[in-house]
Amino acid sequence: MPAVLRHDWSRDQVMALLDLPFPELMQRAGAVHREHFDPREVQVSTLLSIKTGGCPEDCAYCPQAARYDTGLKAHKLLSLEEVTQKAAAAKAAGATRFCMGAAWRSPKDKDLAKVAEMVGAVRAMGMETCATLGMLSGEQAAVLKDAGLDYYNHNLDTAPELYGDIIHTRDYQDRLDTLAQVRRVGLKTCCGGIVGMGETREQRAGLLQTLANLPEHPGSVPINRLVQVEGTPLHGTALLDAFEFVRTIAVARLMMPLSMVRLSAGRAEMSEELQALCFLAGANSIFYGEKLLTTGNPDVEADQALFTRLGLVPMAVEAPAAAARTVHAGVTCAA
């Protein structure tokens, strides 16, 4: 039975899912997960900051913003040799996708050419490639596609109505426009958000609604739990309830049944029990390695030990078993 991919979710419908009794929500999400994926398998990615700090944006959660004093040591774009060495180490540790992140508002063409070379080198090693470089033009997206990039990451961060309280240096539409450029050239999208930034449950519903109502569901949906960094405006925000985080994972799985739902930032602060609940709720992707751009992440040995205890294995091929149909405003069409 092919999956039905909806793109017409209302806010009330998403809230109804988030409001389900926890056992029922877990059961529904787990059933959808099993229908389309092997629940034992977890896709493993590694993220490398290829250019750190000095960003002109004012994202309230981000230690890489130049305007915040977080003690972060900035560094320029890494060399091709440095990147390929890191990619080789990631592959040896079991990662199948290598993600490269640069703290730019948008890349300059001369820098993009260097990143394209990195993408080609990593792709030649037999790994999937992903990049997050800020806003892109259509021409820049095409350069990355031609270099062999598989995924482009550009998160929505939060619900449209909260976005202006978190970021003032770019509009929500700017993010949607970059995603459109990426899709137009045939790149897969990696797009999610951050929870625990002081938003309400309804605003978390708004983030999930916007993600699921994109013209195509993102291939990967990273759900980040805010990592509070001293010196950023969101430092000191009340911590998000753990069960609320699991609910967010479960509803993402229900609304985007064929997407990889990734446990991303904040995993270093999560107990093994909380991570296990997230896997039961439908998470099937993690970032693997000691650091996520600039914040800590569980090390490889700890993740391998957790996988062994839970009976999980790294995913070799990212391909859901079921075909999909898309639904727009109640009309079904072939995807």
Tokens describing residue 300: 């490889």
**CA 59 – CA 202 distance, rounded (Å):** 21
Considering the candidates 6, 28, 97, 130, report the single residue annotated as catalytic. Answer: 130
117 Ramachandran zone, left/alpha/beta (phi>0; psi -120 to 50): alpha
Q: How far is CA 5 from CA 18, 89, 325, 331, in A?
A: 19, 37, 6, 11
**278 noted as active-site residue:** no
Catalytic residue among 6, 97, 99, 191: 99
User: Is 191 part of the annotated catalytic residue set?
Assistant: no
Active site residue 59: yes
99 is catalytic: yes
The catalytic position among 6, 28, 55, 267 is 55
Q: Which of 6, 62, 225, 247 is catalytic?
A: 62
Q: Which of 97, 204, 262, 267 is catalytic?
A: 262
* Token pair for 194: 């951050």
Contact 267, 25 (CB under 8 A): no
Q: Looking at this protein, which amino acid is placed at residue 146? A: D
Residues ≥6 apart with Cβ < 8 Å to 78: 48, 50, 51
Residue 323: CB atoms within 10 A of its CB come to 11
Is 129:160 a contact under the CB 8 Å cutoff?
Answer: no
Q: In what order do the strands lie in the sheet with 3-6?
A: 3-6, 324-328, 331-334
Say which of 28, 97, 175, 190 is annotated catalytic.
190
The catalytic residue among 59, 247, 253, 278 is 59
Active site residues: 55, 59, 62, 99, 130, 190, 262
